[in-house]
Amino acid sequence: NAGVTQTPKFRVLKTGQSMTLLCAQDMNHEYMYWYRQDPGMGLRLIHYSVGEGTTAKGEVPDGYNVSRLKKQNFLLGLESAAPSQTSVYFCASSYSESADTQYFGPGTRLTVL
């Protein structure tokens, strides 16, 4: 039981490049979330999903797209990376809407030059 895993762990991009971050969970959770963490800002919600095939915008969705084609996977895409997207990205999953059940992945550190 790996819990929540994120791929890759680190990535450096040039401005304008694209990439996809993968989040996978093996707990059969319905809810999945993408957050970004910036110094002095805490974690902010980018997008979330309440089930396979569904996605919704969070607090800071601009510049990102997501897909949830399979229940266990939640993909976060950057179509044209910008330096402002330099951050640490965390994925989380939950089996219910009850907030204390969110399990977080180890994070992806992304640098955009």
The binding site for another protein (CB under 8 A) comprises 4, 31, 33, 35, 40-45, 48, 50, 56, 58-59, 90, 92, 94, 96-107
| CB nearer another protein, residue 49 or residue 85 | 49
Joined together, the tokens standing for residue 75 give 């993909």
- CA–CA separation, 24 and 93 (whole Å): 9
Least distance CB 113 / another protein (angstroms): 22
| CB nearer another protein, residue 17 or residue 103 | 103
| CB nearer another protein, residue 73 or residue 101 | 101
Q: How far is CA 95 from CA 16, 67, 72, 98, 104, in A?
A: 36, 18, 12, 8, 13
